[in-house]
Structure 1
């Protein structure tokens, strides 16, 4: 797919570092089900712990690359698991880096879709709310409408990808709203 044929460029952020995480499987399933003119890059969240003392022009290269990826995306899809009733630390850390510099964050006004997942039937609703709260605090443009919460996620994954047709259809509908929010 060339830039000329891409209608929308999305950035997928899995809220887990595990190589075969359910969050990554959800993103891979979505990535494979997107229309041909919509691209999605999936980015790892391996960043140093946020430290304002090292932030700024001399921040680590991976931080600059992460912020640039957000800035260049038309919209962001965050898929989070729920750890101990909350958002994983790695995701919170990434959002803290992305929220800077204050008042100039690439997340300001950026359309974002949050998807949560859990092996439990509750689907990570507590983590979902924490991610939403953090994104609202940094003035991201959260996609409105029903929230995408995937319970018993392990039953919906095969060969490292989300394959549940009903979940994919619903989530792709919300991705359409994300793309529309980006004006694409």
Structure 2
């Protein structure tokens, strides 16, 4: 799918990539979702499907935090307070820990809710606000949202499908 250039394309990309991803995630048995047999977000590490869902949820919650701070005209500490853009592996580990202990089904519910909230916020913005001005560095708000929602959904689905194929081969 092409990079979204406007509000409608952004909403479509988020919804389409999420629908494909959540279908895959819902097909994973809960007990298998906790096995740390997938390549992690940090080179040389292993993670579980639950960790992958936690990672996506963490980024979605972070996008919501950015949007809430923006609406309140507060300074946004990109990507997250205490983290720099070159420390995303450490941020991924934080997200795993933030949602550790949640059942897989609860993670998926929270992820779905966060995605819905992001889409609702986008729907209440105009194209100018989303795409016609810089929001963080040279990036527009719409592009920053896309970088941290629809793109990771697509990447996670690719990672998940590769992992599922390896699981089937191992049986």
TM-score (norm 1): 0.25
Q: Which has the higher helix share?
A: 2
Q: Which has the higher strand share?
A: 1
TM-score (norm 2): 0.27
